[in-house]
Amino acid sequence: MSLQSFRILGKSGLRVSPLCLGAMTFGEDWGWGASVVESTKLINNYVEKGGNFIDTANIYTNNHSEKIIGDVIGKNSSLRTQTVIATKFANNVFPGNPNTCGTGNRALMTNLEASLRRLQTDYIDLYWIHSWDFLTPMEETMRSLDNAVKSGKIRYIGISDAPAWKIAQAQTAAWFKDWTPFIGLQIEYSLMQRTVEDELVPMALELGLGITPWSPLKGGLLSGKYNRKNMGKAEGRFATRNGGAELTEKQLSIIDELERLAEVHSTTPAAIALSWVNNKPGVTSTIIGVRTAEQLEANIAATDIHLSAEEVASLNQLSTPPATFLSEYKDMIPMMQHGGVEINGFKPAPVPLIANMQPGKY
């Protein structure tokens, strides 16, 4: 596989690379990103290697991320044609103004026009709701997005960081009212964050949304920088954000296995972690956030890794999160419903009380 092993995003005709270049690191305005020169090199290297999918947001590095992408791609018509640009709205980039945040029609149009100017393009390929706005009627948001698509300023829409029930409500309304539906779901997903498998992942599979995981290396925790040997000593974005790098035994066990598999495949722990998430059900394109050409090269190596079923199972077992009510009860349902018979190749043990029932006894 390579960056040119394109995948269809959700229920659409949009073709994207299996690894998406995340642009939250473009610009040094937040104190830890890549310089304009380095960001430009990252974009060019990614495109030269066959990548076609770049993801940003209006709020990233105080608008600078969009501006950098516009300077490299927006003003270059040939590059613009071959590149899928995704950006997001909902978070406020106009402090103090209550009508430039959220997903109401006025906020949407204000932020859309501003993003188009910064990106130096007359359309956005994929426009994400960055997070759900519980103050604006869902119908207003979906109708406004549909109008923007019909105007030609947006090609497709997606949803990020929202409850499964709200996404399902909006998607169903779009189908019934003939509005533009979501084609993508952006969520945090990694070996260290699998709670999304409870409701969000099954919802995406059912409703035709391609998943684009963010933070697949858990903010650098799975990059290979942190392990048993240097716990508490390694520095980096994860350590800075979390007040150090003191890890739990479960986290260390996952990292141990990543290091073991990296040795087996002659690669890095980061590449193994990326390969794992990029081949999970429903995942279309995993967002990678890099600051250097070396990091980009190391992450792209994940496209050439083929984990065996046994290797995937070992990572799954180590990273399974504690059961929630839903996941715990879901395991009991086949036991009660199947009545001890095999259905679709699965034969659960029946619940003892039900197993002893006699048809027609009462």
If one counts every other C-beta atom within 10 angstroms of the C-beta of residue 207, the result is 20
Q: Which pair of structure tokens corresponds to residue 23? A: 């642009």
Q: What is the mean pLDDT of residues 70-83?
A: 96
Q: What is the mean pLDDT of residues 321-342?
A: 83
Nearest 10 degrees: CA dihedral of 95, 92, 83, 41? Answer: 50
Confidence at residue 262, expressed as pLDDT on a 0 to 100 scale: 97
- pLDDT tier, 102 (very low <50, low <70, confident <90, very high otherwise): very high
Confirm if 298 and 271 have CB atoms less than 8 A apart: yes
Confirm if 222 and 270 have CB atoms less than 8 A apart: yes
Distance CA 22, CA 287 (A): 5
In whole numbers, what is the pLDDT of the chain averaged over residues? 92
Indicate the residue type of 298.
A
Pick the catalytic residue: 60, 127, 156, 189? 60
Least confident of 23-27, 46-50, 200-204, 341-345: 341-345
Is residue 238 pLDDT above 60, yes or no?
Answer: no
- pLDDT tier, 360 (very low <50, low <70, confident <90, very high otherwise): low
Confidence at residue 233, expressed as pLDDT on a 0 to 100 scale: 57
Instruction: Tell me which of 354 and 229 has the higher pLDDT.
Output: 229
Confidence at residue 338, expressed as pLDDT on a 0 to 100 scale: 78
Confidence at residue 359, expressed as pLDDT on a 0 to 100 scale: 63
Asked if 362 is an active-site residue, the reply is: no
Question: Which of 103, 111, 113, 165 lies closest to 134 in space, CA to CA?
Answer: 103
Q: What is the mean pLDDT of residues 161-189?
A: 98
Confidence at residue 240, expressed as pLDDT on a 0 to 100 scale: 47
> For residue 276, what are the CA distances in angstroms to 264, 279, 302, 312?
15, 6, 9, 7
- The model carries a pTM of 0.92
Distance CA 212, CA 145 (A): 20
Q: What is the mean pLDDT of residues 174-198?
A: 98
Triad 54, 10, 109: Cα angle to 5°: 60
User: H-type helices in 104-179, by residue range?
Assistant: 105-119, 138-150, 164-177
Instruction: Tell me which of 333 and 266 has the higher pLDDT.
Output: 266
Confidence at residue 243, expressed as pLDDT on a 0 to 100 scale: 46
* Dihedral of alpha carbons 341, 344, 348, 350, sign: negative
> Where do the domains of the chain lie, and which CATH numbers do they carry?
7-324 (3.20.20.100), 332-362 (no CATH)
Least confident of 68-77, 229-238, 267-276, 279-288: 229-238
Residues facing residue 88 across a β-bridge: 128
Confidence at residue 356, expressed as pLDDT on a 0 to 100 scale: 62
Indicate the residue type of 303.
T
Confidence at residue 173, expressed as pLDDT on a 0 to 100 scale: 98
Confidence at residue 127, expressed as pLDDT on a 0 to 100 scale: 98
Confidence at residue 329, expressed as pLDDT on a 0 to 100 scale: 83
Distance CA 288, CA 55 (A): 9
Positions of E strands within the chain: 7-8, 15-16, 19-22, 53-55, 84-89, 124-129, 154-160, 182-186, 210-211, 286-289
Cα–chain center distance at 106? 27
Indicate the residue type of 236.
G
Distance CA 26, CA 46 (A): 14
Least confident of 37-46, 131-140, 332-341: 332-341
* List of residues 6+ apart from 52 with CB closer than 8 A: 3, 6, 15, 16, 17, 82, 83, 84
Confirm if 71 and 120 have CB atoms less than 8 A apart: yes
Q: What is the pLDDT of residues 158-172, one digit of tens each?
A: 999 999 999 999 999
- pLDDT tier, 332 (very low <50, low <70, confident <90, very high otherwise): confident
Question: Which of 154, 99, 148 lies closest to 123 in space, CA to CA?
Answer: 154
Q: What is the pLDDT of residues 54-66, one digit of tens each?
A: 999 999 999 999 9
> 126: which DSSP letter?
E
What percent of the chain clears pLDDT 70, i.e. is strictly above it? 92
What percent of the chain clears pLDDT 90, i.e. is strictly above it? 81
